[in-house]
Structure 1
Amino acid sequence: MDEILKNQTFGIHAIAAAGSVALGAALTYPLDTIKVLIQVGSGSSKQLTTVQVLNRVQTLSGNSGIYSGLGWLMLGRIFGVGARFGTYEILTAFYKDGREDNYVYVSEAFMAGIASGAVESLISSPFELIKLRAQVTSASRIRSSAAVIDKTALAPLMARLLPGYSPDMRTLDHYVGLLSTLTGKHPNMTGALKEYPWMMSGSGRAPSVCDVRRPLDIISLEGWGALWRGLRSGVVRDSIFGGVFFSSWQFLHQAMLEWKAVDMNPPPRSDEEIGPLSPLAVSLAAGFSGSIAAAASHGFDTAKSRSQCIVLPKFISMERRLLKWKLPGKRFERLTGIHPADRNILLRGIWTRMARSGLASFVIVGGYFLGVDCLASK
């Protein structure tokens, strides 16, 4: 009987947690789309505004374009946030072991949050990549069918790397014309160029993000490692976010407990004697902590978003490994995955991300308490 009750309790908490994470992701997804498009669409000389982003998405994809990629984010958030809180609870259990008051210090919460954030980044990175490319596609113009050739005329190698994709024949013919001044005896220069992967787009550049957004296309053209592109900046981002989030939340939680115990007579000897805080107070503390953590880690979030928006075919990655290509930038930038060209735009979209993270944290914690109460009462 005890095992059945334990399993039922675990199921209630798991359902409430998954539902609250999904609800938080759905409610804040428009802010996430705006944030991503500002990050990847802004340059050092220009900055997109929220109104410009919304108008562009609505013009090209309609009102539903603001929710493009929502399913991938919800799936990644359920696993990622679950891993973050699960890892945090496991680590803090070791800290609290043997203590009478079941207390966790702020410094301990910070260290546990760093480790839990790193675990979350490893799990959620593939889902974020697919989600981001869906968001970018919703604000991008798709090539007209007049500029592409028939899919049956694709070269075999190109068809294997990116099934269903057709190069721009106008651009390809232009580059063939540039090569016509060279001496050569090849009877079919256009067909030969089509066989080379770097001429896939007809211009020697990699295909657009809009053409490489499905999981199978990403794996086929860029390899499995592309799913974890920007992992350095992602790990640093989520580690900082987790550390600041849990440490500030623990600080606010302890401050509210001490405030509640001011008028108690006799003074409580432990936190258990004070009693639990209201779910609203805990949720507000979580929302405030989420906003602070988002501000502290936003620069690395921009670096990760911009790196995931780059299509890097696997044959180019292989050439870089063979040539021992070094990452550009200073040592700190190389370690954290920041590109030197992004130095002046790392804070783009920070207010949108702070609002999204704060609201999402409030909804997740508040929805969790509400879900547990509703399910337990049944």
Structure 2
Amino acid sequence: MEDLSRNQIFALHGITGTGSIALATALTYPLDTIKVLTQVIAFSTLIISHYQCDYAYTNLLFVDSKVGSIAGKELNANQVVLRVLSVSGNKGLFSGFGWLAFGRVFGTGARFGVYEILTAYCKDGREDNYVSASEALLAGMVAGATETFISSPFELIKLRMQVAAASYVPSSNFALEEGARKPLIARLLNGCYPDKRSLNQYVGLMSTLTTKNTNITGDLLEYPWAMTGSGRPPSVCNVRRPLDIISLEGWNTLWRGLRSGIVRDSVFGGVFFSSWQFLHQIMLDWKAAGMNPQPRLNQDIPPLSPLAVTLAAGFSGSVAAAASHGFDTARSRSQCTVLPKYVSMERKLLKWKQPGNRFQRYTGIHPSDRNILFRGLGLRMARSGVASFMIVGSYLFVVDHLASSLT
């Protein structure tokens, strides 16, 4: 009977944590959508203004006669919201919510679970149930890195759906019969078709040359870059479903931006748990100062109010978001870039090196992103702060309610 009650309590804590994470994700998801689009629009601006060769694979946010063009413009939060509402309506603010909620449940659960396991080793054998801020920092960094591996595929699909919700891509592709597609383009660019206008331009240019082969169109279809013209693959808006991503870019794409993601979540987890532990200890010391006699251990101090713990968690979430936001921007840039498998193969054969200094290569930051690394900082701080507040607050509220009802 005792084991059964323990299993029930464990299940109740798991269900409560899952519900808290899902609720916090739902309430803060519009802020995440606006933040992501603010970052992605900044990338689009760089494409127009600098023509970076590595950005040639990001093809998004085109001109819409009804909505207008945002290419080359920097939009504020209000303009981004109007853009989403005009293209996709109210549901556009929640595009990709299911993917993020599913990944956030497992990722955040892994973050807190790994942190509790690591801190349990730190507290083992100590008379006082105490964890220092430095120990919380190291444990939080390991926990954040663990979260990255779990939530990365869900975040990539979520981001591309968010971009599609604010993007208008004119339909210029024409469908060929299945037998008319050449094996090479069908294998490398599954589900994609050549751009008719670009293909006609190619044929027009090649027809002026002297050649013995009269089937110029068929030969051009052997080259994947003849699909859209200008050497660009499809828009990121057209490569957002899991099957499309895997067929065009490969399985490794689901973990694209892993370096910047590991650094981002490690910094976030370390700063979040260390600052939360620091604030928790300050509140305990403040409460112990008014007690007579003075308590010798933390266990002798009455529990803190749930509101104080929740406010400390919300503040820690905002600080952690500010500390890791630059890496979040770098990861958003990497995930909204379409990189077909044949391009990745060419880079491996040519031993292509990522541009930037050693720190930029290690953290996944592109040198051209230096001016936009803090774009959307306030939005992410607000989202992380409110989400942390909601997760901890709703969890403590439900647990205290269940504990009181059981007793």
Q: TM-score range by the shorter chain?
A: over 0.9
Per the normalisation by structure 2, the TM-score is 0.89
1:88 aligned to 108, 112, 115, which one? 115
Decide whether the 8 Å contact of 2:198 with 2:226 is kept in 1: no
- Aligned AA for 2:170? R
Decide whether the 8 Å contact of 2:37 with 2:163 is kept in 1: yes
Q: Spell out the pairing of 1:271-310 with structure 2 (5 A cutoff).
A: 271-310=298-337
SS at match of 1:225: helix
Kindly state the Cα deviation for residue 280 of structure 1 after the two structures are TM-superposed. 1.1
Per the normalisation by structure 1, the TM-score is 0.96
Aligned to 2:272: 245
SS at match of 1:266: coil
The answer to whether structure 1 residue 341 and structure 2 residue 358 are counterparts is no
Separation in 2, partners of 1:141, 1:185: 42
Aligned to 2:30: 30
Going from structure 1 to structure 2, the CA distance change for 1:5 and 1:162 (only over 3 Å counts) comes to farther
Decide whether the 8 Å contact of 1:294 with 1:357 is kept in 2: yes
Separation in 1, partners of 2:379, 2:334: 20
Kindly state the Cα deviation for residue 6 of structure 1 after the two structures are TM-superposed. 1.2
Kindly state the Cα deviation for residue 68 of structure 1 after the two structures are TM-superposed. 0.3
Decide whether the 8 Å contact of 2:275 with 2:316 is kept in 1: yes
Decide whether the 8 Å contact of 1:172 with 1:203 is kept in 2: no
Decide whether the 8 Å contact of 2:160 with 2:336 is kept in 1: yes
Aligned to 1:214: 241
Aligned to 1:64: 91
Aligned to 2:53: none
Kindly state the Cα deviation for residue 367 of structure 1 after the two structures are TM-superposed. 1.3
- Aligned AA for 1:317? S
Separation in 1, partners of 2:230, 2:177: 20
Which whole-Å deviations, capped at 9, do the CAs of 1:4-47 have from their partners, x for residues lacking one? 11111110010011110111111000000000000010136753
Separation in 2, partners of 1:2, 1:187: 83
Runs of 5+ consecutive residues of structure 2 not aligned to the other structure: 50-72
Going from structure 1 to structure 2, the CA distance change for 1:181 and 1:371 (only over 3 Å counts) comes to farther
Aligned to 2:177: 152
Kindly state the Cα deviation for residue 323 of structure 1 after the two structures are TM-superposed. 1.1
Task: After the TM superposition, list the runs of 4 or more consecutive aligned residues in structure 1 that deviate by more than 6 angstroms.
Answer: none
Which whole-Å deviations, capped at 9, do the CAs of 1:308-329 have from their partners, x for residues lacking one? 0000011111111111111101
Q: Spell out the pairing of 1:125-144 with structure 2 (5 A cutoff).
A: 125-144=152-171
Decide whether the 8 Å contact of 2:189 with 2:340 is kept in 1: no
Separation in 1, partners of 2:289, 2:176: 74
Q: Spell out the pairing of 1:159-170 with structure 2 (5 A cutoff).
A: 159-170=186-197
Decide whether the 8 Å contact of 2:198 with 2:229 is kept in 1: yes
Decide whether the 8 Å contact of 1:116 with 1:242 is kept in 2: yes
SS at match of 2:37: helix
Kindly state the Cα deviation for residue 151 of structure 1 after the two structures are TM-superposed. 4.9
Aligned to 1:234: 261
SS at match of 1:261: helix
Decide whether the 8 Å contact of 2:189 with 2:224 is kept in 1: no
Separation in 2, partners of 1:178, 1:375: 74
Kindly state the Cα deviation for residue 179 of structure 1 after the two structures are TM-superposed. 2.5
Which whole-Å deviations, capped at 9, do the CAs of 1:200-251 have from their partners, x for residues lacking one? 3244211110111001111111111101111111100000000100000000
The answer to whether structure 1 residue 184 and structure 2 residue 211 are counterparts is yes
Which whole-Å deviations, capped at 9, do the CAs of 1:231-282 have from their partners, x for residues lacking one? 1111000000001000000000001111111211111111111121111111
- Aligned AA for 1:349? G
Runs of 5+ consecutive residues of structure 1 not aligned to the other structure: none
Aligned to 1:363: 390
- Aligned AA for 2:235? S
Separation in 1, partners of 2:238, 2:40: 17
SS at match of 2:128: coil
- Aligned AA for 1:267? Q
Separation in 1, partners of 2:301, 2:162: 47
Decide whether the 8 Å contact of 1:165 with 1:211 is kept in 2: no
Going from structure 1 to structure 2, the CA distance change for 1:251 and 1:292 (only over 3 Å counts) comes to same
Decide whether the 8 Å contact of 1:169 with 1:202 is kept in 2: no
Kindly state the Cα deviation for residue 164 of structure 1 after the two structures are TM-superposed. 4.1
Decide whether the 8 Å contact of 2:190 with 2:248 is kept in 1: no
Kindly state the Cα deviation for residue 296 of structure 1 after the two structures are TM-superposed. 0.4
Aligned to 1:117: 144
Kindly state the Cα deviation for residue 2 of structure 1 after the two structures are TM-superposed. 1.5
- Aligned AA for 1:247? S
